Structure 1
Amino acid sequence: MPLDPDYDLFALVAEAGSLSAAARAIGISPAMASKRLARLEQRLGVRLVHRTTRRLVLTPAGAQFRDDLIPVRAAVREAEARIAGETAAPAGRLTVSAPTSFGRLHLAPHLGSFLRAYPAVALRIDLDDGFVDLASAGVDVAIRIAPSVRPPLVGHRLATSRRVLCAAPRYLAERGVPTSIDALAAHRLLAADGQMPWRLVAPGTAATIDRPSAVATNSSEMVRELALDGAGIALRSIWDVGDLLAEGRLVRVLVPWEGSTDSAVHAVHLPAPRVRPAVAAFVDFMQSRIDPDGWALPPAAVPDRSAPPPHPA
């Protein structure tokens, strides 16, 4: 049975933040949309949105109702697809969220192939360096770079994610090359919000570095650009800076120290009795495009494992 049309209207309003945009999406006038929204609020006995001159803002009750509707609407769409016999072919809207750098470097080059393979999928890509709430953001698949995937999310490991300390030759020429973990105290360190502390490992030892970034930023790409410009030392993933290390534009420091080895690239989605074909197709596609062993260091940047690591004090 189709979902109450007023529920669909409210969900569109919540997604767009605009009554007129929601009205256009379903082919009614803004006045009619406003009337139906007011009718829904009256029926539920609660205000769902605050109306301002510029946009609509969800009330706490409205935000909760939106979150509750997400799995309900998904289940209805899935039921309709099963009845129509459409479950075999991936189709419909698919929203994917990924970190900015990873999306640009390792999603974008493959998306044309994905769309050619699945032309009925309407793809949206959102790039965000924060951990997006899949339910509230309406995201079907997110790329997460983390040690593990916490329930209730379902995770599919795509690859390991090695991280190394690196800096531009210009910075090292000006500030000197650190020769021990303790020496980092005299250097400018670069990290995006949430990327500190650094948990570093070397054969037989480990260390934690927890210092404010020399430049505060919410952008991981900004950290890479700052490091390239000689602003400090950064802990970066090989998938992000491997080419720069190969070209000598960045140089590894404190070899053989690396970021903790449990970090990995995952594709995650919300749990469901049956995963939508478009979601399953995208996860399978990315698994076919990414080497599960991760990205290799260029030969010039491979550490000498025979040398003992400098131990932290």
Structure 2
Amino acid sequence: MHAITVAEPGGTDQIRWAPVPTPEPGPGEVLVRTQAVGVNRGDILQRQGHYPPPAGVTDVMGLEGLGVIEKLGGGVSGHAAGDQVLALLAGGAYAEYFVAPAEHLLAVPPGIDPIKAAGLVEVAATVVSNFDRVRLSAGETVLIHGGAGGIGSFAIQYAKAIGARVVTTASRKKASYCKGLGADEVIDYASDWEPAVMVATADRGVDVILDIIGAKYLEANVRCLATEGRMVTIGLQKGVKGTLNLAVLLNKRGTITATSLRGRPADQKAAICRRVEEVVWPLLADGTIEPGNQTRVPLEDAARAHELLESGENTGKIVLVAGYSG
């Protein structure tokens, strides 16, 4: 088979579409013929050498995929060759075939274009698990950074479905897109966004923050928390080391937590998959949540997909599609 490989950590010029051995499913696993792959920020970090796969996981990129089961490993039940499935992965989907743990497979949401769904697995699993972690509930206000991206586009809609009020940051030209997703307030991240958040909340602050930025926003985020506010960091796009006035956090009785999905134990990831099927797929089926914007790129042209994601010009999700001609 062919897969996207990286000659050495670096830029998109290191990406190759090259022959590699076809993987074999082990016990509890399935071999899937790839139809589509969601592109994630973690893929770019891996290509650059900053986000290596967990021990024992292929170095082929790809954290989510859609495809047709070709072969079952030992002990797999409830699935059959020929089934179309979605998969939450620790790696491997940038290839003509990938191996996935059977417990990390998801059904395609009823009535949803399967390729659209291919770009929803990672974002849905990330958002649902983290909003569960910080207990976002109806009537609360959440600040979502990067509202026009893949995570943000989904998080805005899911937070509104919960019954939360949504404040988000995005570029000025993407404000209308975020508003269309349901955001109540869209703040230009290039401006002084912190006082704008406080104005939008009548100086109360926000109950929950979903942060993809990291160190650069740490102090401002904490100042924007309401009393008993909770912040979860899921990305480090702007640095890994920041400073924090602990007195501010203490006086707010605030909570800061951080999570990563890729390296979680298998049973936790399986539980997250089931949670996504339980709470998200019905919201997609009834139209409460829309898949959002999607840009499709041929699977073998992953370099172009990475360049597009790094440019910041895209809204929604980028998906690599096998056999797509553009």
Task: Please give the TM-score of this superposition, normalised by the length of structure 2.
Answer: 0.22
Structure index of larger Rg: 1
More strand by share: 2
Give the structure, 1 or 2, with the largest relative contact order (CA under 8 Å, sep 6 or more). Answer: 1
More helix by share: 1
